[in-house]
A and B are shown apart, each in its own frame.
Chain A
């Protein structure tokens, strides 16, 4: 009986209409609107502006002194796949096989994960979840084509509810020439350059061969001869080969970026680079080829001993200046909520505020093919937004309210529950 009540309530709230009034609206794709109103109907933004006609029965929210922003997007997490990384049974981030493009992260996502609630609390309404950890190089034997990432909206009862985009990219562990590796328990081990290069070439041959075989499958399927047999593995590669899905490759340095871009050109696939830290001379090429980039964490340490202390802080500003489309990510679950503060560092070190907001919202959405659905405050877009009492990149700012698909979602989470619990301790 209770369950039924909840279900009915959920259904009702999905259809509820809201009018947010007297708020400073930050559409991101357009100029700021002071004292504006925003109408949410059927889960979508139906109107916004200085004056919006309120239909009958709409729930009016007086947002005086508050700001409305499109929900932010964290572009690299494993939300829903890993709860506590050191508790084995809560992790579902490793699959067996070298080439497993058919693996879909979305079907393994646990909608009950605590990480969703905590991440939402800072204004993040969507997150890319990756089928395996972002790895540079990695050990031979680990999967190479690792499966499909999913863009999650951070509210829903089932993984189907969460699927903002069930397949947002194909994650590939791209080989790199790695002379120094860190492992357990061996610690730091170094191999000669020639040996590292040979290992790299062995892996490159494998991955080149796999892409060629996928093309052959595509060709055979098009020819539609009688002898054609469907294959799940190659079938999963088709969206990538048709340019509907980007290839996701982590590449921190110049050489890795150069190799990845060469590879994507060779095989004629779209590319998104992850964890970019030192693009060097490849910066102009990224801009010219319009290859989007998910920056490494601005709060990470610089890569090399002699790098400037602010190398990581200032990279987003440099990407913006060079005309590279980029977005932010935290590359983890437990600190996924810190996304706005990562962007805050970038703004303090040369990234214009409006560019930071584009990177946090619309650019991230466009990179992963959901730019038409979310990422800005525009009529017709999904009502994924939040209200704050100030600048969300500022640590002291409080998120007051959040809507995902027009639902007024709870901002309560494990941290707030513990806060309340211990606040009440006699």
Chain B
């Protein structure tokens, strides 16, 4: 009964006020078709009803005077765990009892390909609100544990119940090359084993599809093929997310994706500055972690650091600029950072040569394109989902002033600004 009441309240919050909203005479950065210096954005039923100069505002729409304001598409975190219980979930099925060690690929080791994160999202994650208050209106949220960790989703960062927030599910399969560690803990206990397993499961998938098709054509007199949830999960994955941080990994994974012949997206890319040719030739889109490598605060002071580590630390943030220059499609992701740290990382990339327009694109339209949802979000266009950030001044400046965040047509206010520097000074 109480649950029902809560649901009812959540729905009530959604439909509380008439949905018409108009931002009048603001600067509109559409991302998809240039910047309109003075235009009006009309919002209704969670969608962008119209964009353009000199629009008539419907009589029932609530008007926001846009003089001095800039409207941007809402930002997108291209790979996160937002809406999930913890920042990093444990293997979903390992929670209750440890699985027996896998003997080979047939045991589908550390595979959760059929699990959908969309089914597990909770509205209680406090990180959603803090990301939203920084201007993020959507995020790709993925399970991270396992060789095949499961299906991710694109969600809007509103405060409605999760089922209302899902934009796309499944959005892709998260892959990680985790090694079991041997010592009786089962297959695969080496990186080579992990790759062999992934190859094998795709061979199995081919066979599975054919066997099923043959059976469906003519089931009489045939033994029905055994149902395999791991393969079902893979079959419905629209794309695979592969980790690739170093040059070697980027090279390896681009080849591997080509060999498997699956739609792939690489994530990590801290050494992407060394690999523009490889990435360009592969044509694969990439997600760049804004968690630039740093020296660990608790590192051994006498530890000898390799020149390679130092170089990556110095140059990693130049990767986005180099990707942009080479026309490689990329988006940014938070990699466990807070939204404000992520934006700090983006600004560092801008200092190291990434043009602002490309940075904005990598936070809005590019992730929408990479996940195949550019027809419904990622830019300010008629008919797209009304995910917007309204600022006074530039969004990607050092001190952005966010006035409103609009998610699914609902207006949110950012929390009041933190104590002023002067006040901070006095409490020191």
Contact = CB atoms under 8 A, between A and B. Distances in A.
Contacts of A255: 302
Nearest to A307: B304
A193 B181 contact: no
A419 interface: no
A185 B306 contact: no
Contacts of B179: 187
A186 B306 CA distance: 24
B182 A305 contact: no
A179 interface: yes
Given A186-B181, A306-B307, A192 B298 contact: yes
Interface in B274-307: 298-304, 306-307
A254 B304 CA distance: 11
A137 to B, nearest CB: 13
A373 interface: no
Contacts of B181: 185-187
A305 B303 CA distance: 12
Nearest to A195: B298
Taking residues whose C-beta sits less than 8 angstroms from the other chain, chain A's interface range is 10 to 19
Contacts of A179: 299-300, 303
A193 B182 contact: no
Contact of A305 (B183, B301, B302, B308): B308
A262 to B, nearest CB: 15
A193 B301 contact: yes
A306 B302 contact: no
Given A185-B182, A185-B185, A186-B181, A254 B302 contact: yes
B183 A184 contact: yes
B263 interface: no
* Majority secondary structure of chain A interface residues (helix, strand, loop or mixed): loop
Contacts, number: 35
B183 A194 contact: no
Contacts of A184: 182-183
Interface string A46-63: 000000000000000000
B184 A304 contact: no
Q: DSSP majority for the B interface?
A: loop
- Measured as residues with beta carbon below 8 angstroms from the partner, the interface class of chain B is 10 to 19
Contacts of A306: 304, 306-308
Contacts of A254: 302
Interface string B178-213: 010111110000000000000000000000000000
Given A304-B306, A305-B306, A306-B306, A193 B183 contact: no
A184 to B, nearest CB: 6
A306 B311 CA distance: 12
A196 interface: yes
A264 interface: no
A139 B184 CA distance: 22
Contacts of B184: 185
Contacts of A185: 181-185
Contacts of A196: 300
B296 to A, nearest CB: 8
Interface string A233-254: 0000000000000000000011
A192 B179 CA distance: 22
A101 to B, nearest CB: 30
Contacts of B307: 305-306
A194 B304 contact: no
Nearest to A197: B300
Residue from the set B184, B303, B304, B307 with the largest chain A CB neighbour count within 10 Å: B304
Interface string A285-307: 00000000000000000001110
A289 to B, nearest CB: 21
B300 A177 contact: yes
Contacts of A304: 304, 306
A194 B299 CA distance: 8
Given A185-B183, A187-B181, A193 B299 contact: yes
A253 to B, nearest CB: 8
B325 to A, nearest CB: 30
B306 A193 contact: no
Interface string B292-336: 000000111111101110000000000000000000000000000
Contacts of A192: 298
Contacts of B299: 179, 193
Nearest to A177: B300
Contacts of B300: 177, 179, 193, 196
Interface string A181-219: 000111100001110100000000000000000000000
A192 B301 CA distance: 11
A240 B183 CA distance: 42
A304 B304 CA distance: 7
A193 B295 CA distance: 12
A184 B182 CA distance: 9
A196 B306 CA distance: 21
A254 B183 CA distance: 34
A194 B185 contact: no
Given A185-B184, A305-B308, A306-B307, 9 more contacts: A177-B300, A179-B303, A184-B182, A184-B183, A185-B183, A186-B181, A193-B300, A194-B298, A306-B308
23 contacts: A179-B303, A184-B182, A184-B183, A185-B181, A185-B184, A185-B185, A186-B181, A187-B182, A192-B298, A193-B298, A193-B299, A193-B300, A193-B301, A194-B298, A196-B300, A253-B302, A255-B302, A304-B304, A305-B306, A305-B308, A306-B304, A306-B307, A306-B308
Interface of A: 177, 179, 184-187, 192-194, 196, 253-255, 304-306
Q: Which 5 A-B pairs have the closest CB atoms?
A: A185-B183, A305-B306, A192-B298, A193-B300, A304-B304
